[in-house]
Structure 1
Amino acid sequence: MSRLILGSLLIVVVPGVQADIDTYSIGVDGQFSWDSQGQIEAAVDFTDNYVQPSGFAPEDNIVNFLGWSDVGGTPDDLVTEGQARIWSNVAATTKDANLVMVDGDSTTSTGDLFKANGVRQTGRIFSWDLGASFPANRIVFYPSAEGGGGDFVRGYEIRVNDGQDFDREGRPNFDLLRREELNTEPRVEIVFPEQLLRFIQLRILVPGAFEIAEMEVYGDGFVPRGRYESAFLSFVEGPVNLGRLRITAESLRLGDEPSGLAEARLEVRSGKDESPQIFYSVDPETQDETEISQADYNRLEENRRTVRYDSQNWSNWSEPLVLTADGDYELDLRALPGPRSFFQFALTFTGTSSQIVRVRDLEFTFSPPLAANALGEVALDDEPIPLAGVASTVTGQRARFVYGVNGSVGRGDPGFDGIRIQTPDRPEFVSLAIDDPASVVVPDSVHIEDDGLSVFFPSRAIGAGDSAKVWVRFDTTPLFYSTLFRGWLLDTSGDLPQPLTAGDTGEELGTNSLLVFGSLGKALGSFELSTPVVTPNGDGSNDSVDINYDLVFLVDAAEVSVTIHDLSGRIIRRLATDEQGAGRYSVNWDAQAGGGLVPSGHYICRIEVRAQDASFDRSILLAVAY
């Protein structure tokens, strides 16, 4: 039986019936409820144990349905949707002093906080962030019946923002809703045409004493956008392989509005550690960065800290699976890197005030790794160790590839007896070799599909405590400028496939990558790097790399693009994009991307030339080390 940890909560997951495959499920028929598994619940509710955009009747006070936090002063991030927040420009005497205005209790209030003798109250500003955009048509605020007496807000200005209009610094652009310089009513009720509302700002215009018991917001219908993010699901036994995810959606429509105006989008990601963010302190003089804990990060001023996505240990959010109608949808989680110890999913809802898509259930399968370590790399069969360290072939032409796998099976691991390789078109199997040195083996079976091949060898299975090298040769036709040949270890006894990680499988191949670049012919003269290893440590030696290239045989100027890619093929930096004629050129890369230095590792420099009658490209492998 496998187990999951959610925060400090230990979750026991009922095992599946096949091999050692377990299932996690949430929802109406699931092991867990939606509200017990959420980390971010912005403008969603859990009616009947579904998860759906929040909906309100005219008599519902929206404030009472939100989870509030008093953040003291203005938060750094006002754009990202999430938990409802309240703050003010007042130095509070007690922690969470502002929460009395959103606690749903009209008998509690700010009390004597704004009643001190001789203190002018003009200029007090209170701000509410509902966490998401809600349809609203009425705002109410008032003092407590017991202690308010004549101490109510006698002059005020209310400004609002819909959660979509921000300035260049990410601050809401507020619109004036009402200004009342002489208010005679303790209970203020502002009625307005229904509009989206996320931020409310109350400014006090008079010096007199006052108190506020409650701020209330009313509206009618569903919110147009909501987001649910699960907590980070942690697998107690360590890394696991992920299988398939199934999710059940239902559409809900009120009134005569045409259907098809609502959807939900599912995204997933996996990680090696408990957080996809890395937190740093920043020296304001040297700009040197030091990794710190999130707690220490939260205590620093904005100009003394920064945060980055941990792309080394976490995958990016997947392409969304779009849910638009009633029914079951499936997502293959085997495309995620693995094995991984953490998993997270997110749902983004969009719709109208009378039409939504809601989610009933979600479940996915997982199982222990087949091997403790599983590396793969691909190369052209006639060029297993390319001079530039990158496999490159002519796009659109059939080529023979060799796919190397190095698998080490732990003593408690199931092992593997097959390999699955994803290809750009229908491949042709050539041969299988196992062991070091390689020995040709006749596979027990080979399954060919339009997008790959699976080679099985249970008679030569790699079992517990063993390690082996495996080479699969096959023919296929690259159809794109870059092709990622994903691969998986397979187990015919029924355990889930294990993704292969790009890496050095041995001296037989020299790419350390599952990526193959395409080329449409010879477009360049020389294409060279000033150094194969960039060491940006500030010592003046190889802190950056010069990328030198010659353009030849060009009658007219050509479009030239020089880009840096990570080993997945993703562009992380564009160095040049312009028209150039024949000649010698040089561009420089300082090992930076996305506003900071890239992590240590291997990267690919790629040049592409688009002439009038043909396009050409070439790639070189380079490394960054600290």
Structure 2
Amino acid sequence: MLFVDVPSSAFDAPSYLPSMIRAISLALFVLATAAHADTWEQTTWRRTAFYRGTISTEQAAPGTLQVAAVDSYEVWFNGEYVGSGSDWTQVLTVPVELDSGVNHLALRVVNHGLGVGNGFLTHLRAHLEDSLLVVPSTTDRSLVPWYWSDQEPADLAWTTANVSKSDDWAVPQEGSIDRDRLSVPVSSSAAVLAGFSGDVDIGSMAGSVSLNRLDGVNLALGNPRSPEETSDGDLRTAWRGRPDPIDQKIEIDVGSPRRMHKVRVITFGDDDTERKRNSIRGYSVQQSHDRVQWVEIGFLQDIREYARTEVTFEPEVIRFLRVVVTEASDNSQPLVAEVEAYGTGHNYRGTYVSPPLDLGTASHKNFGRVHWDADLPVDTALSLQFRTGNELSDFVDPKDGWSAVAESDGLWFPSPEPASLVQYRVNLNTLDDRTTPSLGSLSIDFSSQDVAVSSAQGRVTPNGAPMGVATEFFYTVDLAFGPDDDGVERLELAVPSGAILGEIFGLGGASLAEWQSTDEMLSLHFDPPITTDTQLGIGFAASTFTLSHLFRSWLYAPESDDPLNVAEATDGGWRLLATDPLQRGFGRVAANPPVLTPNGDGMNDETVIEFILSRTIAPVRIVVGIHDLSGRALRHLVLPSVSAGDYTRSGASAGLARWDGRNEVGQLVAPGLYVYRIEAALGAGTFVETGTVAVAY
């Protein structure tokens, strides 16, 4: 796998972005041996993060800075570039000049997804006139406030700007680096810090995308359910206790049960004298699931470390916690700047969003099959979404244009085609924070040659119809061809039930050779193919048995089995909504004919247990049982996956549940009256209908 680093000079102008996207795509481009065309594959992920820390000192002085980061990095001090590294094991040691007042430390870190960790650590030493200044990287913002961002800066102003109030910058958490492999020792007081975009981790396991861990994450930060002064991240605000604060409580609600292992209390004050006066001298940490019953999980007493204290405990799933004051100094009201609650375990959900990719070629592409490999432990899930465009501006809105969620490997590419650029999104979820799903590889088949048309946009009228009633629809698709396009030989249109074709307009010199319809798809074959710009119009009649239906369509070039997705037109949609839904999701159950004569003469040799299934989006399981009058089961007919539709003999979907008068072992039953029982598991519960059918000879 190849990797492409962007030089620091690239930050002087955002114009490098298209070339970077092309470079990333080329680095991940693999030619396939399959006859289809080409295959793009990704097995390693990379991310860039930007970090900012501020160090305050009353004296200007020379100092020495140590830096280590996974995997490659650049470092600026007070806006001046001071060094870089491409090997995470090699500790960078550089001289720096501290100014009196605020000093700015900035890092750009690229993680190549090699499985060796996440984040960075720094350690600064400087000799002042009468003391030694030691500043390690830390999650304690009362010592050094650190922030991080995944947004590409337009220039180098970020290296000295005040980012603390920017929405694009957040507080980092604990990262991971194998200190034993570093070229020189770095003080153990230096914490590894990291930012995880989308709450996913690409650095801990080589060649995978997984949920990040919550280690070092302050779960109380910014939580509106907690006291504002102790969870706003601002050390200049404080919770004020009573003059006699014993048994006074600071309660924290983290919003949902999360696994925690540490509580930190930071005292308000500008110097040691103020912090000693304002400090709580003893407290109990308690947790609850209902805010009624509280259990102590740790405590401190006779506190002498006035600036900050911590209580650690065995990891435990907690929703509510509180700090109860048990000791205080005489004649003083305590002032608490922050109460921080630190988590562990994995996030419950996360999202990885790729950059827009051209898959190694700037030309328009017809995308084929999508394959991925994922590890899914029990109680975890992973899904993908895609979107396409031809310019970077097509991807500005982070929410617009995403396909439906895809959970199964090997699907046809689901977004509009052809297109020059593609972007994908990985959605990860777990119900157990002790485990995580992971994506190990992703591949997309594509062709720059097998392109039917350069642009295709579809719409349908009307956009509303009564449920269960045959309705006349008109579907139009705008076709625009380029000089190298192959033409449209076949069109497939998703229909809500079996369709009857009506008039067709706009063939542009082509001819309709044949058509057919199933319960789900209307297919039209053109000979010769359509090769000129036109607005193709297709009239047809169909019924809907769902509350909503999307009239998506697909185009095929001659001798191609790779569908090209039609985009939804901007001046009209393809969504159908039922205007008069049926009151029941399962109805019109009957045996047709009510009497069967299974004697082999071709007349009434079987009966259809008819029904109409409606008001459901996903296919459902239906079981039909045949019983004698004593209740003994004679035959079971299992329909494992039934979509909404009319399953009567005369309905568009025809009959599915057919009984030929035989029992489970294939023997004809005796003449007489029998009971059928049909059961459907719908979202609102299990629906059961019964009736009778007669057998005669």
TM-score by length of 1: 0.46
Which structure: larger Rg? 2
Q: Which has the higher contact order (CA 8 A, sep 6+)?
A: 1
